[in-house]
Structure 1
Amino acid sequence: MLPIFRPAVALAAFVSLTLSAAAADCAFRAGSAVTPAAIGDYRPVLKSCEAADGRRAMSIREMTIGGESVTLLADPEALTTRLERLACWTCRDAGDEELVSTRMGRAIAASAEAPGITHRGFLQNAGLTRGATSGAFLTGDLCPSKRPLDRAFFARLAASGPHTPVALAVSGLWLTHHENDFHWLIAQRDAGALDIVWVDHTYTHPYRRKLADASNFLLTKGVNPENEILRTEKLIIANGETPSLFFRFPGLVSSDPLMEAVRQFHLVTLGADAWLAIGQKPGPGSIVLVHPNGNEPFGLKVFSADVARGAIPKPLEPLTAAPE
C-alpha cells in the first residue's frame, strides 16, 4: 500500500526542522582563536528578547566577538543560559519588575535576601544554600591552585552514571593556569560523562592568610567586584563555554553591598549547607561543597565515603533545579 501523504503534517515537520535549523544558526560559540581581549564592549544589560521563531528569553549581557554582536541569554524559567547572535533577536530594555513573576526573578531575589551568618563586618554563607528537591546538588570550587585538577575524582563521579550533574565554580586565575584541565572537563562533558554548570567564582579570588575575613576575600581593600565578576565571565566565554546565572563568593564571605552588587548583575548568589571538609553533613536538598582543585583532598575523600554509605541524598540534581 502506498503511504498516505498528509500536507499539513509534512508542512508542520518542515516548519519544525526549519525553526530548529534557524535556532542552531543563531547559537554562538567562541572559536579557539578568541581571547578575552577580543571580546569587546562586554556589558551587563537587562532586555526582553524574542526570536523570529517565537522563542523568548532575557538578555543579561551584550558583547562583540569577531565583529559580531552577541548576547548572553537566560531562560527565566529553566534558569539556563546560552550565547546567541544578537541579530537573531528583537530586544527591548526591561526593568527588574518584569522578572518578579519569573523563576529567575524569584531566585535572584531570594538568594540576595538570604542573610547567612552575620559577623562583625561581613556575612558568611549568604545566598542559596539548599535546593527545592529531595536530592543533593554537588558543587566544586576551582579556586586558584598550583596543584593539578583531581581528575580521578571526576572519573569516580562519572562512574555513577551518564551525564552526572556537577556545578563548578571557576576562578579566572585557576582557568588561566589550568587550561588543559578546563578543556579536559569539557571533553568529559562532551563525551556524556558529566553535565556541567559553570559558576562564576571571581577572577582573582583574593585571599590573604593572615587577614581577618572582614577585610579579606572580596572585602579586600581596592578589589573591584564588577571587574572580578565580568572578567571571569569573559574568560569562560573565550574558552568556548557559557557562564551560568550562578555566582559564588570566595570563602563564602560577603557583605550587604556585595550581595546587592551580585543582584544588580542578575545572578543568583550560591552558598552551601554541606561543606564536607569542615564537617558539615549533607541532607535532602543540600548544596554540597568540595574543592577538586587539589587544595582540599580531604573533602573529596569524605564525599566518596558518604556516597559509599548512602549519606549523599539521591539523585544528584543539576544546580538549575535548586531554586524554587
Structure 2
Amino acid sequence: MIARVKRTLFSLLFCASLAAATTARAGEACAPATIAPSPAATGARVRDYAPVFESCAQGEAIRLVIRRMTIDGEKLLLTVDPRSLETTLERAACWRCAQTSEEEQAETRFLQAVRPPADPARPPALVNAGLIHGKGGGAFITGDLCPSHKPLDHAFIDEVAAQGPGTPLTLAVSGGWIAHHAEDFAWLQEKVRSGALAISWANHSYSHPYVPGLKDAQNYLLRPGVDLDREIFETEKLLIAHGETPSVFFRFPGLVADGALLEKLRERHLVALGADSWLALGPPPRAGSIVLVHPNGNEPGGLAIFSRLLKSGRMPKPFRDITEAP
C-alpha cells in the first residue's frame, strides 16, 4: 500500500514537472525574437518584407503589427504596443492576428501619434515635418546619422552616456550610414548591451538624397523619382539584419516633406519626427524640446553647443525616451 502511494506521488510530481518544463519551453519559444547579426547580405536574410496593419493577441497581450517578414526562414512580425509605442520583433506562430483599420484603432495612443490633430499654429510641413515638441519636462536628445565619409563622434555619445546608466538617446539612422560604418554601428550596439545607453533607432531614409543649392521643394525626398517605400523599408531591413528593432519614428532628411509625402509616411504607420531645437541652426532647448544634433561628423558646431549647454546646466533634464514625446 505504502509503495503504491509513493509510486502515485512520484507519478504526479513527474507529470507536474514535465508540464512545467513544457510550459517554460513554450514560453521561451514565444518570447520576442532576437536576431543575431550576420555577415550574410540583408536580402538573403530578410525576405517577404511587407507593410500590414493587423491587431494581434497572445493571451492578454495585444499588439498592432505594421510589418510581416521572413528572417532566416522564420516568419516574424514587427509589432507596436499601442499604449507605450514600444516595438518588438515577434514570432508569427505565437500570435493570433486579424486585419484592422485606422478607424478601429483611432483612440489608441499609437494612432494619435501617427495622425495627430491638426495644429494651425505650427509651421507648414515643408519647413519642419512631424512632431516638433514633446510632452512634459526634460529633453529628447536626437542625433541624425546621415550618410557621411567621416567617423562617428564618439565623444558626443560618451557625453550622453555619462548622464547615467541606460540614458535614452534617439539616433535617426540612414541605411547608407550603416552600410559604410560597420565598426561605428557595432560600437553603438555595444553601448546598448553594456547598459550605458538605451538607443531608439529612428529611420532617416536609406539614401538621404540631397543636392546642394537646390530649393527644398525639389530636394531631399521630394526629388523626382524617389521611392519612399524603398527608403523606409531598406533601412528597416538593414537594422533588423544587424540585430536591432526599428522604432516607429521616421525623420525626413532636412526635416523637409510636403503634405503628400507626410501622408504616404502615415500610411506606413510611422510617426514623423521633427525638432524644435536644431542646435546648430535654431533656438536653444526648453522643457520638452526635441533636440537635434548630427554626430556623423558633418556638424561639429551643434555638438559643441550641446556640450556647452550640458556643462552650464542649461540643457533641460532628464533626458527622456522618444516614445514619451507624442
Same fold (TM over 0.5): yes
* Cross-structure match for 1:95: 101
In 1: Cα distance, 2:256 partner to 2:53 partner: 27
- Residue from 157, 163, 166 that aligns with 2:166: 163
- The answer for the alignment partner of 2:306 in structure 1 is 303
RMSD: 2.2
Q: C-alpha deviations, 1:215-252, integer Å up to 9, x for none?
A: 00001111111111111111111111010000000000
Cα displacement (A) at 1:211: 1.2
TM-score (norm 2): 0.89
Compute the displacement of 1:34 (Å).
Answer: 4.3
Q: Which amino acid aligns with 1:149?
A: L
Residue 49, structure 1, aligned to residue 52, structure 2: no
Secondary structure of 1:244's counterpart equals strand
1:142 is matched with which residue?
Answer: 145
Aligned partners of 2:122 and 2:42: how far apart in 1? 34
Change (3 A) 1:260 1:113: farther
Which residue pairs with 1:29 in the alignment?
35
Q: Which amino acid aligns with 1:294?
A: G
Residue identity matched to 2:201? W
Aligned CA distance change for structure 1 residues 307 and 20 (closer, same or farther; 3 Å): farther
Instruction: Give the structure 1 partner of residue 296 of structure 2.
Output: 293
1:244 aligns with 2:251: no
Aligned to 2:263: 260
1:81 to 73, 81, 87: 87
Mapped partners of 1:201, 1:93: distance in 2:
28
Instruction: Give the Cα–Cα distance (whole angstroms) in 1 for the partners of residues 123 and 146 of structure 2.
Output: 22
Q: CA deviation at 1:19?
A: 7.4
CA distance in 1, matches of 2:120, 2:184: 33
Specify whether residues 111 and 163 from structure 1 end up closer, same or farther in structure 2 by C-alpha distance, changes over 3 A only.
farther
Aligned length: 308
- Structure 1 alignment gaps of length 5 or more: 1-9
* 1:104 equivalent among 110, 115, 128: 110
- Partners in 2 of 1:294 and 1:114 — Cα distance? 36
The answer (yes or no) to whether the contact 2:30–2:91 under 8 Å persists in 1 is no
Runs of 4+ in 1 over 4 A off after TM superposition: 14-20, 111-116
8 Å Cα contact 1:246/1:270 also seen in 2: yes
Partner Cα separation in structure 2 for residue 225 and residue 88 of structure 1: 31
Asked if 1 retains the 8 angstrom alpha-carbon contact of 2:34 and 2:243, the reply is no
Which string of whole-angstrom CA distances, capped at 9 and with x for unpartnered residues, describes residues 93-122 of structure 1?
Answer: 11111221111011111188788533xxx7
Q: Gaps (5+ residues) in structure 2?
A: 1-15
**Could you tell me how far apart the structure 2 residues matched to 1:19 and 1:106 are?**
35
Higher Cα Rg: structure 1 or 2?
2
Whole-angstrom distance in 1 between the partners of 2:26 and 2:106:
30
Amino acid at match of 1:173: G
Distance between the aligned counterparts of 1:71 and 1:114, measured in 2?
Answer: 36
- Structure 1 residues 131, 74: closer, same or farther in 2, change over 3 A? same
> Is 1:179 the equivalent of 2:185?
no
Give the share of equivalent positions with the same residue, in percent. 50
TM-score w.r.t. structure 1 length? 0.90
